[in-house]
Structure 1
């Protein structure tokens, strides 16, 4: 392929822009906030699991407390009923039976109230544990939000820089023939981003290999408007006064 030395030099500018774009793309994907946010989100997930577990234990204790409260209510109603019957009966036999039952009921009530108090204390502990887990989750969510704000600010700046580079690339591309651009793009894909390289002191700046022997002779003998390639990396070799040939 033929291309003027001026056009070939433009490929170096194009390569510099593409390299910078590649670096900025990598930078955007490798921001420290990405890993930090991911780690925080993992902690948020763990905190939510802790909340679910603690809430389940709290709800179990609540159910237990309701059952005990129901038992207390039943016993209290039986005491009230038997006390009323005791006050209105004249039968000695009934009085003895009711008094015996009331003693048993009051003991049962006392036992239930002790259990109720212990369960209420457990419930307070479980509710405190849930509140603590929720506070941990909320604090982590605040950190996630702050990390996302910092990340987004950096991404906005990187996107601005990328926009400037893409506009510069478009301007340079318009000054080069479509055929040369197509060749450059093909080489960029094949070379994993390395498409054009300056030949400086007989060395390819793309792969740092020095041309010798027949490879150097081919490049040296090629007309200035010939497009030549590095025999090692395949990049378009751009020759200038620095090439040393």
Structure 2
């Protein structure tokens, strides 16, 4: 690849900014609030899943209670109907049948009401479980808000510096030829964030290996506009008056 010496040296400016951006990102990620916030996020996610299960239990209990209440209403309506019929019949056969049915219906009503009380208790317990989870989530939310406010205050200066560095990068990157910039980005992705390094006194600034023998001679013979790479780390080697060639 060919690129003017001046364009190649612009890569050193770009690399310095990229290194600074990486440092700022690390510092922002290493703020003392970051770890407890991550723990709270994990805890909140777990509690959210637990709440979904608890709500499912509550909805099932409410549905069961609704069915029982419907059955109770139906039995009460039949008791009222049979009671009304009993007061208006003079047939001994009908009276006997109605009285027997009323005994059966009242027994059924008693059983339903007992079951209803049991399920009402289940609903209360399930609702209590959901309420307790909501209280816990609210407490976590308070902790998160407090830590986020502390984090944002601590990060304000770093964020401003990061944003300025990002703007500076955009300006510098705009001065680098597209092909050279793409090659730099490729090297940077493979080189742990370092795509270009100064060759100072025959030593690569990326991997600190000193060039000797045929490697050194190959770099010496390369034209100034030839983009050369470190034979050890494969990063772009930027040559200047400090290179010792």
Q: Which bin holds the TM-score, normalised by the shorter protein?
A: 0.5 to 0.7
Alignment partner of 1:163 is 2:167: no
Q: Alpha-carbon deviation of 1:116?
A: 0.9
> Residues 198 and 204 of structure 2 are in contact (CA less than 8 Å); yes or no, is this contact kept in structure 1?
yes
Alignment partner of 1:125 is 2:122: yes
1: CA distance, partners of 2:226 / 2:50: 60
Aligned residues: 230
Q: Relative to 1, partners in 2 of residues 1:40 and 1:21: Cα closer, same or farther, differing over 3 Å?
A: same
Question: Given the alignment, which residue of 175, 183, 188 partners 1:187?
Answer: 183
Q: Alpha-carbon deviation of 1:228?
A: 5.5
Q: Alpha-carbon deviation of 1:67?
A: 0.7
Counting only pairs closer than 5 Å after superposition, residues 63-74 of structure 1 correspond to structure 2 as 63-74=67-78
Q: Partner of 1:109: helix, strand, or coil?
A: helix
Q: Name structure 2 gaps, 5 residues minimum.
A: none
Alignment partner of 1:113 is 2:123: no
Task: Choose 1 or 2 for highest CA Rg.
Answer: 1
Greater Cα offset, 188-197 or 227-236: 227-236
Alignment match, 2:236: 235
Alignment match, 1:150: 148
> Residues 57 and 126 of structure 2 are in contact (CA less than 8 Å); yes or no, is this contact kept in structure 1?
no
After superposition, the CA RMSD in angstroms is 4.4
1: CA distance, partners of 2:42 / 2:140: 11
Alignment partner of 1:140 is 2:137: yes
Q: Relative to 1, partners in 2 of residues 1:238 and 1:166: Cα closer, same or farther, differing over 3 Å?
A: farther
Alignment match, 1:44: 48
- Deviation track 1:2-50 (CA, whole Å, cap 9, x = no partner) reads 4359x82x54332021133345568889965568536634542452244
Q: Relative to 1, partners in 2 of residues 1:167 and 1:103: Cα closer, same or farther, differing over 3 Å?
A: closer
Q: Alpha-carbon deviation of 1:55?
A: 0.3
> Residues 185 and 195 of structure 1 are in contact (CA less than 8 Å); yes or no, is this contact kept in structure 2?
no
2: CA distance, partners of 1:46 / 1:129: 12
> Residues 68 and 112 of structure 1 are in contact (CA less than 8 Å); yes or no, is this contact kept in structure 2?
yes
Q: Name structure 1 gaps, 5 residues minimum.
A: none
User: TM-score with structure 2 length normalisation?
Assistant: 0.66
Q: Partner of 1:211: helix, strand, or coil?
A: coil
Q: Relative to 1, partners in 2 of residues 1:45 and 1:240: Cα closer, same or farther, differing over 3 Å?
A: farther
> Residues 184 and 196 of structure 1 are in contact (CA less than 8 Å); yes or no, is this contact kept in structure 2?
no
Q: Partner of 1:199: helix, strand, or coil?
A: strand
1: CA distance, partners of 2:112 / 2:179: 85
Alignment match, 1:79: 83
